[in-house]
Structure formats: structure tokens, C-alpha cells
């Protein structure tokens, strides 16, 4: 929001008259809308839960009730501080889960799933002899 307030101040400082005031108000409204949607997680597309069934394919449950398939991002996407989940298809949003968002045990399970593709306690199928 601070960036949008600064941008509005720049519009007011460099542009005179009604166009400068209009652009400043528009950029402030855009900042408020983005803060509500992305930062405060109040929008219908805000993530509410991550479900990892026994099949190993994770889905993010949105506030609207829709489920979106996600996959872990390899490399720097999985650290002890965060897990980055990319969209399972070409269309979709990425989700960044930081360590403070989950309890330590749940964050550990999410990291293990992102690294190995399965959760602890989920036995792998037996290989044929």
C-alpha cells in the first residue's frame, strides 16, 4: 500500500489539475483493491487450505470453495522458510506458504511432500518380486 501512496503522491507532485487528482485517486483505489485481494486474503480466490490426498496430487481450496491443482516448484521453491507451489496447469496462480503460516509439524509435512512427492506415513506400494 505504501508504494501506491507514494505513486499517488508522485502523480500529485508532477501533474496539476483534475488529471493529477484523478490518477492519484485511481492508483490509491487500485492499491486498496490489491491489498484486500492479495495481502488480506479477503477475495473469493484467496487460498484457505491445502489438501494432499493419498494419491499425492495436492489441491488448494479457495475461499469460493473451488479446488485448484498445484505442484511444488523445485530448486529454491522449497526451503525451511517457505514452500512455493505452482499452478498444476497453464492457467492458475502460484501460492507461497511461509513458515509462520502453518504449525511447525504441518510445515514439515508440506516440505516433505514438496521434496519427495508423498507425506510421512503414506506407505509406498510394494514392488513385485
pLDDT tens string 38-65: 777 777 778 888 998 877 888 999 888 8
Q: Is the pTM of this model over 0.75?
A: no
The edge-to-edge listing of strands for the beta sheet with 67-72 is 47-51, 58-62, 67-72, 82-87, 95-98
More confident residue, 109 or 129: 109
Mean pLDDT of the chain: 85
Half-sphere exposure of 108 (CA within 13 A, CB side): 5
Amino acid at each position: 500500500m505504501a508504494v501506491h501512496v507514494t505513486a499517488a503522491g508522485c502523480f500529485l507532485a508532477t501533474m496539476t489539475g483534475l488529471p493529477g487528482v484523478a490518477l492519484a485517486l485511481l492508483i490509491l483505489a487500485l492499491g486498496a483493491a490489491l491489498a484486500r485481494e492479495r495481502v488480506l486474503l479477503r477475495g473469493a480466490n484467496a487460498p484457505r487450505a491445502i489438501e494432499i490426498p493419498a494419491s499425492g496430487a495436492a489441491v488448494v481450496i479457495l475461499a469460493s470453495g473451488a479446488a485448484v491443482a498445484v505442484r511444488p516448484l523445485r530448486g529454491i521453491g522449497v526451503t525451511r522458510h517457505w514452500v512455493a507451489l505452482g499452478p498444476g496447469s497453464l492457467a492458475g496462480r502460484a501460492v507461497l506458504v511461509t513458515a509462520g503460516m502453518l504449525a511447525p509439524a504441518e510445515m514439515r509435512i508440506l516440505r516433505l511432500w514438496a521434496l519427495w512427492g508423498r507425506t510421512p506415513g503414506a506407505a509406498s506400494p510394494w514392488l513385485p518380486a
